[in-house]
Structure formats: C-alpha cells, structure tokens
C-alpha cells in the first residue's frame, strides 16, 4: 500500500477556502494512486477562537495566579487539534471523500507522561491501516498522544508533544506506516534561504539535507520543526515542505544532495537575548566562579547559549524573558571562597582550610547599585573590606543571534572572516560567536538583525541558491 502523510498547519486550514485548498492536495494524492493520511494542527493562530494559545488563555484566565495542572492543560490544548480533525474530515466528506477524524489516542500514538512536552514511545498503526483498507481518509489530530494505562487511568491520559508537535506526529506516523513520503504543508512554498520578511526575494531551496533542515529549524526558521526532521532522518523517510496555496514543487529533504555538499544553505535569526560579560581577573578562583555562575543559572532555570571563556572572564547569553530574574539574582550577590582555583584530584576534603576567605561581589556596570553598596559597606564594617573582589558584569540587553548555515565550513578557510567582515563593515557589533560543523552564529544587537540578515544573504550570494 502506497501511503503518504500530509500535514497541514494552522494557517493552511483557518478558513473554508483554505481548507478546500488543503482538501485538493489530499484528493490529488488519491488521484496519484496513494493512500493519504492527513495530520492537522489547531486552526489559526493566537487570538483566533480555536487556536491553542486561545484555549490556554481560556483556562488561565480563571485565575492567572494559579497555574493549571499540566494534565488538565494538555487536555485543554489537545482540543484545538481535535476540532481541526472533525472540521477537516467533514470538509473532505462534503467533497465526496469518506473520512474519519481520529484523536492521537485513536490513532495509536502512545507517549511518555511528560505533559506539555511528551515524547512518542510507540505507535500502533492498526486503526489507521484499517481506515485505509476501508477506503476512508484518516484525519489525525497532531501534537497529541496518550500515556500508557496505569492503575488510576486504565485508558491513559492525553498528552501534548510540545512545540512543533504536529510536524512530529506527521513524521512519526510516516515512520510507523512506512509511508513513501511525508509532506508538510505550510503558507510558504518551501524552505527559504532567509526569512522572507527580511529578504522578500529569498529563493526557495529545491533540495536540502535532513541535517541542514534540522539545523536551519533549530536556528530559527519556522518552516519545519527539527524533531520531525530528525525522525525522518533516522527512519529514512522522504520529507517535503510545500505550500498549501500554490502548485510550487516545494523543498525536498534528502540524505545527500545530488550535486554534492552545498556550503552555505541560508541565513537565520533567532531569539530575544541578553548578553552578559563577567570580568573575573582573579586567576586563583576563576574556574570556580565560572562554575558557580553556571550552577546559579541552572538553579533559576536559565539555559545558556553563546558561552565563551576569555583570560579574564566569561560571556553568556540567555533568553530575555529571564532577564529580571537573572539581574535580581546576581546584583549584589556575594560568593565567599576559600578553596584553591582547581582542587587536587581526587578532591581533598580539607581543601582551602586555613586560607583567607575572599568575598566576590557581583555588580552590574562600573557604578554599583544600592544593593551592592550595602553589601560592600557591611563587609567593610566587619573589617573585611580588603578581601572584597568585585566582579563587574557588562550587559547588552537587546541582542539576538544571527546564523549562517554552512555545512562543512571548517574545511573552507575564510568563511568566518567573510562573515565577521561583512557585519563589521556594516557597523554591526558582534558580541560573541559560536560555531559547529553546520553553523556559524554571532550574537548581535537585535536592532540590527534585519540589516544583518539582508547583507549576509547578499554577501554570500544566496539569491543564487536552489
């Protein structure tokens, strides 16, 4: 049986007209002699009545100070996709194509019990295969599954898969059903070389590798979720990104490009970040202070990126949503240390004994805040002023990350030089960089992101990519 999985995002099915266009793609699949399995997201985006965010707001508005239980929140969020399945199945039915709407549970998708970010454990494809044998088109709710039965809930509990969950559902169903292809339909005509809001004439890539598409998605392109790309890559399922509203061929995701490796795939941007640069000119405790900073950030639930060590300090970036928490945690913080910079191996239980304590005081900028001044004066009153070591933190609040997806760049001398030169010559400061085999990233001011994406796209001649 030739099976194709077709996934439609929220904007592909938000109006009757759009749903008819989506239905035509499904019918075309049937006409090609394939059995379509349809996966749908919730209808529309934030603010629209059946969008996931709208449903969550409905729940949280009961009392914003009391967060809903993750189980109930998942139950609520799953409703959006269930509504979509029924609407889409009915749309196909009125066009004369028998269809059946299936929840994640009814489609046999079993997950772990991490509500809000569940992972698919197994899929029992029997219900879907039965539907196909009967000649029905299964329309499956994306983004959801069900936990394994337990003592309290013998039929399990509904879970959601987290961001990009419908793409993940489509790819996993493709794997479970051994589909000949998974087609992700969206409102753009494939994977582009840059955000079309910034580069309107950014070309659509005709082919891209699984690794590239996963990287491009991780770095901010919103066209396909990396989890889906990773499943497709691991199971070798042909994957397409196509537009619901056009007849454009879209982007084919492949293991290897026909014409060898493309060096530069695209320019992406992601994140509203804050960048902190800690000045730690104290060699005796630098490693331990860095460790304390990492521990503190972990304790307050802040994930770091753009990390870089230099001889006299450390730089870190993190999501701006955490900025106030980070600021209030660090401002005026004192870390007293006795231990030497690096302990003996194995660590001695007596390390640091007898050594004079040093008090490391974290302060933002050269002018200490009121809290810092109080901390300082307390230490001085206690006769410990001479043991005070300030750690000055410089802040760049409005940052973002711009990335060049450059497969195998490290074999190509000068790519980073070209990237850095392009940004510098355009007057765009670069706070820090990160690199891997697939990607070069720079942390830059957010105000410059559009300009940065445009000039990098031009400088690396991505208008000619395909």
SS3 state of residue 226:
helix
How far is it, in rounded angstroms, from Cα 223 to Cα 277? 33
| Binder among 72, 247, 248, 310 for other proteins (CB under 8 A) | 310
**Residue 266: beta bridge partners?**
405
To other proteins, the closest distance from the beta carbon of 122 in angstroms equals 5
Stretch that binds other proteins, among 24-32, 50-58, 192-200, 309-317 (CB under 8 A): 309-317
Which DSSP helix (H) or strand (E) runs through 274? strand 266-279
Q: Would you list the DSSP string of 295-331? A: HHHHHTT---EEEEEETTEEEEEEEGGGHHHHHHHHT
Task: Check residue 297 for interaction with other proteins (CB under 8 A).
Answer: yes
Task: Check residue 35 for interaction with other proteins (CB under 8 A).
Answer: no
Write the CA distances from 366 to 89, 318, 374, 414, integer angstroms. Answer: 63, 22, 16, 37
Stretch that binds other proteins, among 98-106, 181-189, 343-351, 373-381 (CB under 8 A): 343-351
| Binder among 46, 49, 69, 122 for other proteins (CB under 8 A) | 122
| Binder among 46, 58, 424, 466 for other proteins (CB under 8 A) | 424
Stretch that binds other proteins, among 126-134, 360-368, 424-432, 444-452 (CB under 8 A): 424-432
Q: Would you list the DSSP string of 82-134? A: HHHHHHHHHHHHHTT--EEEE-TTTTTEEE-S-TTS--EEEE--HHHHHHHHT
How far is it, in rounded angstroms, from Cα 121 to Cα 183? 22
Task: Check residue 229 for interaction with other proteins (CB under 8 A).
Answer: no
Question: What x/- string results for residues 252 through 271 when contact with other proteins is judged by CB under 8 A?
Answer: --------------------
How many other C-beta atoms can be found within 10 angstroms of the C-beta atom of residue 345?
Answer: 6
Q: How big is the site for other proteins, counted in residues (CB under 8 A)?
A: 66
| Binder among 119, 252, 322, 389 for other proteins (CB under 8 A) | 119
Task: Check residue 295 for interaction with other proteins (CB under 8 A).
Answer: yes
In the block, tokens 């450390």 appear at 314
In the block, tokens 């990126």 appear at 305
Q: Left (φ > 0), alpha (ψ -120 to 50) or beta: where does 236 sit?
A: left
To other proteins, the closest distance from the beta carbon of 340 in angstroms equals 10
For the record, the structure tokens of 299 come out as 């304790």
To other proteins, the closest distance from the beta carbon of 405 in angstroms equals 12
Q: Answer whether 397's CB lies under 8 Å from 323's CB.
A: yes
Question: What x/- string results for residues 182 through 201 when contact with other proteins is judged by CB under 8 A?
Answer: --------------------
| Binder among 7, 73, 192, 218 for other proteins (CB under 8 A) | 218
Which stretches of the chain bind other proteins, using CB under 8 A?
112, 119-123, 168, 171-172, 175-176, 215, 218-219, 226-227, 230-231, 234-235, 287-288, 290-291, 294-295, 297-298, 301-313, 342-345, 347, 410-414, 416-418, 420-421, 424, 429-436, 439
């Amino acid at each position: 049986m030739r099976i194709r999985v077709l996934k439609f995002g929220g904007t592909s099915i938000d109006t009757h007209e759009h749903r008819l266009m989506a239905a035509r793609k499904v019918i075309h699949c049937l006409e090609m002699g394939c059995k379509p399995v349809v996966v749908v997201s919730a209808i529309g985006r934030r603010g629209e009545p059946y969008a996931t965010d709208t449903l969550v707001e409905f729940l949280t508005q009961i009392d914003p100070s009391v967060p809903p239980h993750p189980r109930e929140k998942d139950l609520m969020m799953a409703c959006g996709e269930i509504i979509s399945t029924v609407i889409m199945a009915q749309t196909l039915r009125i066009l004369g194509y028998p269809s059946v709407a299936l929840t994640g549970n009814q489609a046999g998708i079993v997950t772990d019990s991490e509500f809000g970010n569940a992972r698919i454990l197994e899929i029992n494809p029997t219900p879907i295969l039965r539907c196909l044998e009967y000649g029905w088109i299964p329309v499956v709710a994306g983004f959801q599954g069900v936990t394994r039965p337990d003592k309290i809930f013998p039929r399990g509990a509904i879970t959601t898969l987290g961001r990009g969950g419908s793409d993940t559902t489509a790819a996993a169903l493709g794997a479970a059903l051994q589909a000949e292809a998974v087609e992700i339909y969206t409102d753009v005509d494939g994977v582009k070389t840059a955000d079309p809001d910034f580069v309107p004439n950014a070309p659509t890539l005709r082919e891209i590798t699984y690794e590239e598409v996963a990287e491009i998605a991780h770095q901010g392109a919103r066209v396909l979720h990396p989890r889906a790309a990773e499943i497709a890559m691991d199971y070798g399922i042909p994957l397409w990104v196509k537009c619901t509203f056009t007849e454009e061929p879209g982007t084919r995701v492949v293991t290897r490009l026909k014409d060898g490796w493309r060096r530069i795939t695209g320019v992406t941007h992601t994140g509203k970040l804050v960048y902190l640069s800690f000045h730690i000119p104290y060699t005796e405790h630098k490693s331990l202070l860095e460790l304390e900073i990492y521990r503190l950030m972990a304790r307050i639930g802040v994930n770091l990126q753009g990390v870089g060590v230099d001889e006299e300090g450390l730089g870190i970036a993190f999501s701006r949503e955490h900025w106030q928490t980070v600021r209030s945690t660090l401002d005026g913080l004192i870390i007293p240390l006795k231990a030497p910079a690096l302990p003996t191996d194995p660590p001695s239980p007596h390390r640091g004994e007898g050594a004079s304590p040093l008090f490391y005081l974290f302060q933002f900028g050269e002018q200490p805040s009121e809290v810092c001044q109080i901390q300082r004066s307390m230490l001085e009153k206690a006769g410990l002023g001479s043991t005070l070591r300030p750690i000055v933190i410089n802040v760049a609040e409005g940052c973002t990350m711009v990335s060049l997806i450059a497969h195998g760049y490290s074999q190509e001398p000068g790519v980073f030089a070209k990237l850095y030169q392009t940004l510098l010559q355009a007057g765009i400061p670069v706070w820090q960089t990160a690199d891997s085999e697939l990607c070069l990233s720079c942390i830059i001011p957010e105000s410059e992101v559009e300009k940065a994406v445009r000039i990098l796209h031009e400088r690396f001649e991505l208008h000619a990519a395909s």
